[in-house]
Amino acid sequence: MVDTYALYRRLAAYPQGRRLFSLVFEQAAPYFRTSRPRFVELRPHHAELVVRKRRRVQNHLGTVHVIAICNGLEAAMGALAEATTPPGRRWIPKGMSVDYTAKATSDIRCIAETDPQDWADGASEVPVRVRALREDGTPVVQGVIRLHISDRPAR
């Protein structure tokens, strides 16, 4: 199994490393190719990526479609979970609750965050705060993705 966070750290050290990491991440979860997330930052408890506004992800209003944004938020959450989940544990999304707060009229920055105490004492559920921002900093989507955390089965 690939250590996603170690791969990010290794590739991010190179000039086009974050772009390359983004492409590798898409290969691991092909559904993310639809929104083409480009990672900006990844560390435990924090992930940031950009979904560019382009025809492929626009709706009939010419704004970034909210499903493409949610796809970006889920990619950020997944990378955060990979970088944060303690050894010997695993994660799976349990639910997503988001509010649409403004039109997505530019490239969108998707951010996922948790706090260290969310993962303490063998937590079985972790709330990941997610938000999507326009280039001017206006939130367009915000909410929570709940993760179910459990022990990895013995092999």
**What CATH number does the domain containing 117 carry?**
3.10.129.10
Average pLDDT across the chain, whole number: 94
Closest CA to 33 of 18, 23, 21: 23
Mark residue 23 as left, alpha or beta (left: phi above 0; alpha: psi -120 to 50; beta: remaining): alpha
Contact between 145 and 93 under an 8 Å Cβ cutoff? The reply is yes
- Say yes or no to pLDDT of 146 above 90: yes
- State the residue range of the domain holding 57: 4-151
Inform me whether the pLDDT recorded for 20 exceeds 70.
yes
The partner residues of 48 in beta bridges, in order of sequence, read 41, 111
Overall domain count for the chain: 1
User: Which amino acid, 12?
Assistant: A
Q: Give the pLDDT score at 2.
A: 62
Q: What is the pLDDT of residue 142?
A: 98
CB-CB neighbours of 29 under 10 Å: 13
pLDDT over 70 (residue 35): yes
Q: What is the value of pTM for the model shown?
A: 0.93
